[in-house]
Amino acid sequence: MTSIPRDQWYVAAYGREIGPALFSRTVCGESILFWRTASGRVTAVADRCVHRRFPLSELPTRLVDDQVVCGYHGFTYGADGRCVAVPGQTRVPRTARLSTYPVVEQDSFVWVWIGDPVLADGTTIPRAPWLTAPDYTTVSGMEPLAARFGLLVDNLLDLSHETYLHGGYIGTPEVASTPITTEVDEAAGIVYVSRRMADAACPPFYSRSTGLTGRITRWQDIEYAPPCLYKLHSRIAPVGCLPDPDGTDLDAFHVEVVYAITPETEHTTHDFWAVARDFALDDEEVSAFLAESNRTVVLQDVAALDVLERVVASEEDGYQELSINIDTGGLAARRILARLAGGRVHQVTS
Amino acid sequence: MHWVPGSDRLRAVCHCSAARDFEDPVALWDWLLAHPSGHRPAVPEPTPVPAAAGVS
């Protein structure tokens, strides 16, 4: 049985990736063809000709006036997926239609609905407004991960691994040694994990971007909206500097780290990452540094999780794990994901 | 779920206000999800005697 929840919204791409040209990406095992129409709207249809299954993203398929002409036999489709021409005859079979996918472009992402289109409601898509807000500057990217998406969820819900896997970048001893608080909003299906370090070393990721040189107050507040959107609200300030009672927080640095965790297949994942900051907005050096540093950190995770996938895949049935306090948030996420996928969570031991 | 300060224990607090300490996050989750089975409201903290209000 699949572990990938259906009837869900997933990030398929950044809006910037999709222009007036054919673009293909596999989401939850479904190969989807995208392009931006003359009206500026992103359209998403199945990337397989209904005739002989030729991938429409492959040359010599071409896009002509918002119509896709299959490079194999010339079946021609409109942006609504409807076939408008077939070779050698005037009658177009009524069933000649590409399935279409509901699409919402929001917060720099192109979201696609995987499942029954009747159930798609764009208002339920979780938001990440910082990624396009004028008072934030964002750097972002996407790395392919040769591991199941659940391993990335485990990784991001337990940031104590920063101390070991990402030492010298974002990890310091205090991350692993500071207790967490975990909260689950069952009705909304959201997992919160909070780690508040009152007096911590400032890792290079933040010292070089903020200019802070001494010890810091570092807050990591995770908000995970399964299955796809993960947000880390990061607050950095000199030790002892707290928000004002009314909530204003002008003396702190805020970084919103956003991940979109999109299954490509059962065993591979699109790892979208974005870092939005509310300081040094026009400093291109800071942008370049944060982009390079975060990509390095993501690739450290990718290397570790690719190895882990090979191990877990070889031990698929009934492998044993040990869970401790740091895993409370990850266990919460697993249970919600299992519920969304309609199955049972892998039983773990402690 | 709160990591009890200065210890390795986890304190689970259910939406029904029942609370219990655990050493094992898996057992903690089993208990939370078993609501209402085994959930008793937390014993309230003793209410401090209010100080006499000053008159100004």
Within 8 A of B28 by CB-CB distance, chain A residues are: 328
Nearest CA in chain B to A332: B29
pLDDT of residue A279: 97
Q: How far apart are CA A271 and CA A268, in angstroms?
A: 10
- Topology, domain A128-340: Naphthalene 1,2-dioxygenase Alpha Subunit; Chain A, domain 1 (3.90.380)
Say if B44 falls within a structural domain.
Answer: no
Residues of chain A with CATH 3.90.380.10: 128-340
| Choice among A49-53, A100-104, A170-174, A235-239 with the minimum mean pLDDT | A170-174
pLDDT tens profile A76-86: 999 999 999 99
- Closest to A149 (Cα-Cα) out of A309, A347, A24: A309
Q: Is the model more confident about B52 or about A205?
A: A205
Contact A332 B29 (CB under 8 A): yes
Predicted local distance difference test score (pLDDT) of residue B51: 46
Q: What's residue A318's pLDDT?
A: 74
Return the half-sphere exposure (C-beta side, CA atoms, 13 A cut-off) of residue A330: 22
Helices (H), A73-161: 149-157
pLDDT tier for residue B56 given thresholds of 50, 70 and 90: very low
Strands B2-3 and A268-277: unpaired
Verify whether the Cβ–Cβ distance A325 to B10 is below 8 Å. yes
Q: What is the pLDDT of residue B8?
A: 85
A346 against A112, higher pLDDT = A112
Sign of CA dihedral A156, A299, A233, A140: negative
The confidence score (pLDDT) of residue A154 equals 96
Taking only the tens place, the pLDDT of each residue in B7-20 is: 889 999 999 999 99
pLDDT digits (tens, 9 = 90+) for A142-162: 999 999 999 999 999 999 999
Q: How many domains does chain B have?
A: 1
Interchain contact A262–B (C-beta under 8 A): no
- Domain assignment present for residue B41? The answer is no
- B1 half-sphere exposure, CB direction, 13 A CA radius: 32
pLDDT tops 50 at residue A300: yes
Phi first, then psi: give them for residue A142, nearest 5 degrees: -150, 135
A180: closest CA of chain B, how far (Å): 6
Q: How far apart are CA A155 and CA A162, in angstroms?
A: 10
How many Å apart are CA A23 and CA A12, to the nearest integer? 11
pLDDT value, residue A344: 46
What per-residue confidence (pLDDT) applies to A348?
39
Q: How far apart are CA A194 and CA A314, in angstroms?
A: 34
Q: At what angle do helices A149-157 and A328-340 cross, to 10 degrees?
A: 150
- Yes or no, beta carbons of B24 and A327 under 8 Å apart: no
Judged by DSSP in three states, B11 sits in strand
Q: Please state, for a pLDDT cut of 70, what percent of chain A lies above it.
A: 97
Contacts of A187 in chain B (CB under 8 A): none
* B19 is a domain residue: yes
Average pLDDT over residues A86-99: 95
- B15 neighbourhood in chain A, CB within 8 Å: 186
Task: Please report whether residue B25 resides in a domain.
Answer: yes
Q: How far is B31 from chain A (nearest CA, A)?
A: 13
In 3D space, the residue among A220, A214, A263, A217 whose CA is nearest the CA of residue A241 turns out to be A217
Contact: A328, B28; criterion CB under 8 Å: yes
Task: Tell whether B7 is covered by a domain.
Answer: yes
Give A309-349 pLDDT, tens digit per residue. 999 999 867 778 899 889 999 999 999 999 999 954 444 34
A227 upstream amide cis, omega within 30 of 0: yes
CATH class belonging to A8-123 = mainly beta
pLDDT in tens, A279-290: 999 999 999 999
pLDDT at A320: 82
Q: Where in the sequence is the domain holding B20, given as residue range(s)?
A: 2-33
Query: Facing residues of A185 across strands?
Result: A190
Q: Which has the minimum average pLDDT: A17-31, A100-114, A324-338?
A: A324-338
Q: How far is A220 from A197, CA to CA, in rounded Å?
A: 8
Q: Does residue B49 lie within any of the structural domains?
A: no
